Amino acid sequence: MKTKNMILGSLILSIVFITSISSRNDNNSVSISPKVQDTLITGQELFRLNCAGCHGTDLGGNPPNYPALTDIKDKLTKEEIRIQIKKGKGMMPPMSHLSDNEINAIVNYLFGENGNEQVTMVAALSPIEQGEMLFKSNCAGCHRASSNDPKPQNSGTQMCSMMEPAVLAGASKRFTKEEFLNILETGPCYMPSFSYLNKEEKEALYAYLKTLEGKGEAKRPTMGEKCPMIKKGRSCCGGGQN
Ligand code: HEC
Ligand code: HEC
């Protein structure tokens, strides 16, 4: 595994290096080409960031609600999967914010086509943009960003303990960054744990939520305000077990 990572690391470095050299020759100038700022990422990583919350980092899913994707290539064509990612289905939210490039990398990974080693060039994201992408893929099915947004598709279903989870504009005022990290680590009530996201990724989510302050915040006190246990990442529903 270590060696794989090292190979991947040096591959990424050399590609970035080659791109920067060639762009210098092409333009006859030393200005940084946009390609250099783009990011190389594997389909597997994109899957972790956008799909693993429901389908598992190992594609095992969480049946019966969240199907396993291990043998998906025997069931659906690549095109069918691309359409399902863009449009969503049932409790799977549409992910129209992903680029074709990103979707193709994910689908190739699902088809077992060098997901580990193959790197795909995608547009580099600032932490706030990364937070927004993570929000849309992982949180928007249950939480509205702003109370001006339409109701999330899964609110009021069993998936969200039959209610609508808090609007997240203003969550960065209700919770310190540390409290927010606790909440994501365990996931209170019916909220899943996001322990497979690393600290930077969780902080990117927090940075995105900060940009929502004052933009349609929750009108009534949220459960996190009424129940301080939430700040420690503990549940307040169903007897506080989690
Ligand atoms: C919020 C949870 C959630 C997320 C995030 C999610 N999915 Fe799904 N996915 C589902 C659910 C629920 C279904 C079953 C939908 C149905 O048939 O009603 C599903 C079904 C699928 C299927 C079809 C499975 C089958 O056996 O028919 C594919 C393929 C799929 N998802 C791929 C993805 C990919 C790729 C991503 C990330 C880009 C993703 N999903 C993100 C919940 C999710
Ligand atoms: C399956 C539904 C579901 C998903 C997906 C989900 N949550 Fe939650 N979340 C809940 C529920 C249920 C609660 C507890 C009830 C409440 O606080 O409204 C909660 C509570 C929270 C709280 C405390 C809110 C407050 O002010 O009281 C925060 C913060 C939070 N979630 C952030 C997130 C983030 C960030 C994501 C995505 C990475 C996410 N949630 C994904 C269901 C979900």
Which of 48, 50, 55 has the most ligand 1 atoms within 8 A of CB, as the residue to mutate? 55
> What is the gyration radius of the CA atoms in the chain, in angstroms?
20
Q: How far is the CA of 102 from the centre of ligand 2 (A)?
A: 26
Sign of the CA dihedral 23, 29, 35, 40?
Answer: positive
pLDDT tens, residue order, the chain (242 aa) = 444 555 454 444 444 444 444 444 444 444 444 444 688 899 999 999 999 999 999 999 988 889 999 999 999 999 999 999 999 998 899 999 999 999 999 999 999 876 555 678 888 899 999 999 999 999 998 999 999 999 888 777 766 666 788 999 999 999 999 999 999 998 888 888 999 999 999 999 999 999 999 999 988 888 888 888 888 878 776 543 43
Residue nearest to atom 34 of ligand 1 (CA): 51
Q: How far is the CA of 93 from the centre of ligand 2 (A)?
A: 16
**How do residues 145-165 score in pLDDT, each as one tens digit?**
999 999 888 777 766 666 788
Name the CA dihedral angle for 156, 159, 161, 165, rounded to a multiple of 10 degrees. -70
Q: How far is the CA of 139 from the centre of ligand 1 (A)?
A: 14
Q: What is the largest CA-CA distance in the chain?
A: 67
Percent of the chain scoring above 90 in pLDDT: 53
Residue matched to tokens 């503990």: 234
Q: What is the pLDDT of residue 239?
A: 45
